[in-house]
Structure formats: C-alpha cells, structure tokens
Amino acid sequence: MKISVIGTGYVGLVVGTCFAESGNDVICVDVDEAKLKVLRKGESPIYEPGLTDMLKKNIEEKRLVFTNDLESAVKKTDVIFLALPTPQAEDGSADLQHVLEASRKIGKYMNAYKVIVNKSTVPVGTGDRVRDIVAKETKHSFDVVSNPEFLKEGAAINDFMKPDRVVIGSDSAKALAVMSDLYAPFVRTGNPLILMDIHSSELTKYAANAFLATKVTFMNEVANLCERVGADVDMVRKGMGTDVRIGSQFLFAGVGYGGSCFPKDVSALLNTSRSYECELHILDAVEEANKRQKLVLVNKMKKHFGGSLKGRTIALWGLAFKPNTDDMREAPALTIIDALRREGVRIRAFDPAAMDEAKRRLGKVVKFVENNYDAVKGADALLVVTEWNEFRRPDFDRIKSLLKEPVVFGGRNIYDPKVMKEKGFTYYGIGRGR
Ligand SMILES: NC(=O)c1ccc[n+]([C@@H]2O[C@H](COP(=O)([O-])OP(=O)(O)OC[C@H]3O[C@@H](n4cnc5c(N)ncnc54)[C@H](O)[C@@H]3O)[C@@H](O)[C@H]2O)c1
C-alpha cells in the first residue's frame, strides 16, 4: 500500500517505519527541516530502542522517505495518517490547530479517493470536523478514520509490531476494509482488531489513558497512607495485583505520572466532560493528587534536613519521564528540580539518555555530570527519579563513600528498604512503611 504519515515525531516516525517494515511504501512528512535532515541520514532524532536499525534498513530498501512536500505526498499515496501534536491549550482542551490545518491542505491537494486516518489523540467530534474541512476543499471522494495509537515510549516498536489490540473507527465499509488489510500483518496471532464508530474510537483513547493515570494515582495515594499506618505498598501491590480483575501493571507507586500523554489527555477529557455537562469528577481528583505527588520527596527531604534545604547539594538520577526514552515532556524531574531550586538547592544530575534534552530545557540551572557516580560526589543526598535499569543495582559502597551523608530518596521504589538499612543508608521510599 502507498501510505503517507504527516508529522514525524514519536508516533509518526514509529508508525511510518513499522508500516514500511511490513512492505508498504511510506512517505513521512514533517515541517521541521533539521529533523528531516537527521532522518534522511538514517539517524533517529529520538531515543527509542530498536528504531534506528529498522529506520536505516527501510530507507536503504527504498520503502521509507522523508520530505517536507505535503502536496506530493498526498497525491502519491492512498492512505494518509495524521500523527500531529495535539498539545494542551490554555483552557485545558486539546489544541487541534495542527490537525485541522493539515486536513485543509490534504483536501486542497487531493487528486483521487483517499483514506484520511487520524492517529493523533483528539477529542470526540474531531473526525467530523476533519470531514467538513476536507469536503470544503475537494470534489474527490474520501473517508475519515479514527485509529488511536497505544504505543508506549521506550517499547514503541514492539507495541506497534505486536499490539494488544488495534482500534479502528469509521462509518465506511470501504475504509474499514482498507485499514483491516493494512493491519493484517500486525494481528496475525489473534490480538484483536476492534472495529467501531469514530466517536467511540476517539473516546476509547482518552478513556484508556485516563484510566491508567487513575490507576497510578490511586496507588500513589495508597502509598501515602501506607506510610501513616506502617504498611509496605510493595506488599499491598503484590497482594492486589494478583487479582485478575485488577491486574499487576501500573500499580507501582512513585513520584507521579508525567510524559507527553497522560497529563494533557486527562485534562482534555475533563474539558470534554465539562463541555457536555457530564463532568468526570474522578479526574479532577487524579490531577490534584498527581500534582501533590510530584513533591512528596522534596517534602521528605526538607523534613530530613531540619526544615530547610538552603545551600544543600542533591544528586539527581534520572531526568526522562520514564526509562528507555529521552522524552522530558511533563517529566516529574522538572517539577522536582524547580521546587529544589526554589529551596536554594544545587543539583548535580545524570540521565542515561535525556542529557541533551535536559540541557536544552534547563540550561545552566543544573550541573550536568558524566555519569551517575559523578552526580553523587560531594552531594548531601541522592534522589532517584527515573527507574533506569542501570540505577537498580549500583555500587552502594561507592555511593556511600562519595556522599557527604548516606541518605537516599527513592522516587521509584527500586531499592529494598531493609537492604539499604543493612548497607548503612538512611532510605526514604514511597509508601514503604513508617
Ligand atoms: N508520544 C506518545 O507516546 C504518544 C502515544 C500515543 C498517542 N500519541 C499522540 O500522537 C500525537 C503525536 O504525538 P507525538 O508524541 O508523536 O508528537 P511529537 O511532538 O513528537 O511529533 C509531532 C511532529 O509533527 C510535526 N509537525 C507539526 N506540525 C506539522 C505540520 N503542519 N505538518 C507536518 N508535520 C508537522 C512536528 O515537527 C513533529 O515532528 C499526539 O496527538 C499524541 O497525543 C502520542
């Protein structure tokens, strides 16, 4: 099939590369010239395991090209995916300007029947708006499809190649047949391709993300209660998660959710629910609790150091919003760094992949160091914010010898409190008893 993907960010690049990998001819379009230059060399502008090899291979085999020429991409392809940003607008809703403007241009450049597929996360009713905008610009027939993306950054290739499910929304049998054919190689093992109407498909994506954000937040609140009552959230997690109705994933307590999706999607769904006068009150509580959670370790730190952090130096491990990505959008580390700086703290930070992105965002506000042990050198305490694998089993003796005082604040519960005590550390986790 001949496919174009408009927007070559985390989603567009993975989607375009994976469709090329399954034998399709793919044209990826972006407005960012610097990004296109990197991509044409077969290099990935993002850190995503497995992506670079697949990208290189499909460029070499001439199934994957990158361009800024939207007109020729539209004319040369039958299925056009929109993978454009839908950031949070000032009123909390999803900002649709990129999606709607690209739709107008697609309508203008169309030369035959096209299937226009929305992969961006968009509020219910956006498919209708796209259809109206395109119809105003063209006399050719077309169909609009909603095909939300569920990939996780850090495991994006695997998630796309072997999805739990594929959701496709359309009211056109012809478009549904095209989409089913396109996805057939990805659902061979019986993972379902779920066909539905556009509105249900659009809402499915928000409902899924809002539910996951709620699950994480619920566990964070339980963790805070564990500290008061003297329970261990890790035990509670195991006890709960083995119930198949609950499931074991997304039950890890921590310093709150972040990233490019959960915060803006929870906010956009709340906005939709308000505009239909059917408010999802639970999501108000989720947003509020998550905001508080990002600061729990800063508060513990203040208490540990007698009420003031002024003049302290803190080693910070992990800047990306989660491991295996360099994405720092809405990363808890940003909120924590901001709070610590306002307390008069100096920060020595390290992340295995997000250093360039962090330098771009934070400039000289933080001292960036070469490796995790450098961060600890002469610091008053260690704070672990992202659970990168390489932070899981560090040389604790070395850390102890480098810190001024053996204090560790664990934002992701990757260390066992008993073991830390045995090793001579004062250890603060999340929800690990009193
Ligand atoms: N990142 C994720 O993990 C993820 C997962 C599922 C769904 N989504 C959704 O997918 C959508 C895209 O997210 P993302 O993280 O890939 O965004 P991104 O910001 O990483 O990438 C967007 C790309 O679109 C390009 N762009 C902007 N305007 C353009 C235009 N007019 N024409 C062509 N290119 C243009 C940008 O230069 C950028 O490269 C969003 O709606 C997001 O909510 C994201």
pLDDT above 90 (res 142): yes
So what's the pLDDT on residue 176?
Answer: 97
Q: DSSP code of 232?
A: B
For ligand 1, atom 25: residue with the closest CA: 7
Residue 317: per-residue pLDDT: 98
Question: What mean pLDDT comes out for the span 119-143?
Answer: 98
Q: What average pLDDT does range 11-19 have in this prediction?
A: 98
Question: Can you list the alpha helix ranges (DSSP code H) found in 7-166?
Answer: 10-21, 33-40, 51-60, 70-76, 97-109, 126-137, 156-161
> How many A from CA of 263 to the centre of ligand 1?
15
Cα of 148 to ligand 1 centre, how many Å? 12
- From 146, 153, 261, 329, the mutation candidate for ligand 1 (largest count of ligand atoms within 8 A of CB) is 261
Residue 434 has pLDDT above 90, yes or no: no
- Give the alpha-carbon dihedral of 55, 157, 4, 169, to 10 degrees: 170
Task: Please report which confidence band the pLDDT of residue 204 belongs to, taking 50, 70 and 90 as the band edges.
Answer: very high
List pocket residues of ligand 1, CB cut-off 6 Å.
6-12, 29-32, 35, 83-86, 98, 102, 120-121, 149, 151, 153, 260-261
pLDDT value at 112 more than 90? yes
**H or E, element range at 168:** strand 166-169
Q: Which atom of ligand 1 is found nearest the CA of 122?
A: 41
Q: Report which ligand 1 atom has the smallest distance to the Cα of 12.
A: 16
The 10s digit of each residue's pLDDT in 237-251 is 999 999 999 999 999
Per-residue pLDDT reduced to its tens digit, 261-270 = 999 999 999 9
pLDDT average, residue stretch 355-362: 97
Question: The pTM is what?
Answer: 0.96
Residue whose structure tokens are 């034998």: 23
Cα–Cα distance for residue pair 380/41, rounded to 1 Å: 44
CA of 156 to the centre of ligand 1 (A): 14
Beta bridge partners of 142: 114
Atom number, ligand 1, closest to the C-alpha of residue 153 = 3
Residues marked as catalytic: 261
CB-count exposure of residue 189 (10 Å: 0-12, 13-18, 19+): exposed
